[in-house]
Chain A
């Protein structure tokens, strides 16, 4: 009896933990405010540590990269090696600062967002999950960022904010399979919906007019139709392939995003939501081929 009670206890614990997990999942999926609040507090609490480690590891990584070249000079005397390492570390630091400067300057010249106010943010982490394509930025509600706001880079649309804490936010990238955006092709003005297909894959296109022709190279912008979570005129991507309709099948179109999300350092959050209709939409502009 005692043995069976002892062997049953771990199973009882497991059942309790599974029930607890299912309860947490249910509470979250029902859309209550408590889970996002708890998540936001936890991220705020931990973000200083994450930011510090993120900032610290980048120069260290660069330094060790430089150190591999430094090892080729092992026959030099200690003084020269020391000076060389210092110069290289300084060069790497300068390159990093130059690149940062260029990124920030590019963000200041976004003509496609018109008069919409923006908040510049640094990308402090990639996707936290292997099953969701997101980035984490270092601006949150404290800087006026709200859930649903569009996020852009110098080239065009990056995604939209899906969760916010006081001083950081999570941005769902366009390429995530759950992301979609209404687009308009220039110059034909054909409407379509672009959907994410995962890392390394082009966006898939569903044309509103099944007969519309969008040859490769055609640029797609956000359509900004009523209720759209994005303002009009932000570059989304270029048509990378167009297979004409065969039989009852419609055209098969894919779109390569204009923004390489794997190389992002800085982004702009547009202080714009679908409800803020008083804010003017961005003008349609063109980007180079």
Chain B
């Protein structure tokens, strides 16, 4: 497959995840919390495709997500690519035979992502983010991303399998 084909697959995957997030999951609230599949997809991309490509996917998803909220533009992208890179790097150190890497790293990465978002947001001057409700937000987002980690992993394997030598996609 030509390199442009890989980027085309990535584009389709990003578009699909974004459509699911903004159209299908837009009205979904679990205990008042909106699931954040964009963050989960970025983490899964990094775990499956490696930290470099994963954090690029997470960055693009974060920028797209930031278009539809009124919080600082680029904040979700910053948090998403940082957490995705961390998850991808941890996955790289674990070796190739870790079956539970995707769900565990997606769950923990999502929790970390939400907390990091609140911390960086507070540094940027957003009020009221470090609230006990943050624990609920992190838990709900992480649990939802844990549930959707398997289909996201299938999608990201489709995107990355032929791309990266030494990725864990195959």
* Residues of chain A at the chain B interface (Cβ within 8 Å): 9-10, 13-14, 17-18, 20-25, 27-29, 35, 38-39, 42-43, 46, 49-50, 53-54, 57, 125-132, 134, 162-163, 170, 172, 176-178, 196-200
21 contacts between A and B (CB under 8 A): A13-B52, A14-B85, A20-B77, A24-B66, A24-B73, A39-B67, A42-B68, A49-B23, A125-B26, A126-B34, A128-B34, A129-B34, A131-B121, A131-B126, A131-B137, A170-B70, A177-B127, A177-B128, A178-B128, A198-B128, A199-B133
Interface centre among A14, A23, A42 (most CB of B within 10 A): A14
Nearest chain B CB to A33 CB, angstrom units: 13
**Contacts A17-B59, A38-B67, A162-B70; A29 near B32 (Cβ below 8 A):** no
**B81 & A21 in contact (Cβ 8 Å cutoff):** yes
**B114 & A21 in contact (Cβ 8 Å cutoff):** no
Given contacts A25-B78, A35-B73, 13 further A-B contacts (CB under 8 A): A17-B59, A18-B81, A20-B59, A21-B75, A21-B78, A22-B74, A25-B75, A42-B67, A128-B26, A129-B34, A130-B34, A131-B137, A163-B70
Within 8 A of A (CB), among B4-37: 19, 22-24, 26-27, 29, 32-34, 36
Any A CB within 8 A of the CB of B153: no
**Which residues does chain A contribute within 8 Å of B75, judged by CB atoms?**
21, 25
Nearest chain A CB to B52 CB, angstrom units: 4
Contact of B27 among A14, A35, A125 (CB under 8 A): A125
Within 8 A of A (CB), among B48-93: 50-52, 55-56, 59, 62-63, 66-75, 77-78, 81-82, 85, 88-89
Interface centre among B70, B88, B129 (most CB of A within 10 A): B70
Any A CB within 8 A of the CB of B117: yes
**Contacts A27-B73, A42-B67, A129-B71; A18 near B23 (Cβ below 8 A):** no
Contact of A25 among B29, B32, B124, B141 (CB under 8 A): B124
Any A CB within 8 A of the CB of B131: yes
Question: How many residue pairs, one in A and one in B, have C-beta atoms under 8 Å apart?
Answer: 132
Cα-based distance from A257 to B71 in the complex (angstroms): 24
**B22 & A14 in contact (Cβ 8 Å cutoff):** no
Nearest chain A CB to B123 CB, angstrom units: 11
**Which residues does chain B contribute within 8 Å of A126, judged by CB atoms?**
27, 29, 34
Contact of B117 among A27, A46, A131 (CB under 8 A): A131
**Which residues does chain A contribute within 8 Å of B124, judged by CB atoms?**
25, 29
The proximity string for B residues 123-143 relative to A, scoring 1 for CB distances below 8 Å and 0 otherwise, is: 010111101010001000100
Interface centre among A132, A170, A172 (most CB of B within 10 A): A132
Any A CB within 8 A of the CB of B118: yes
**A24 & B82 in contact (Cβ 8 Å cutoff):** no
**B27 & A57 in contact (Cβ 8 Å cutoff):** yes
**A129 & B23 in contact (Cβ 8 Å cutoff):** no
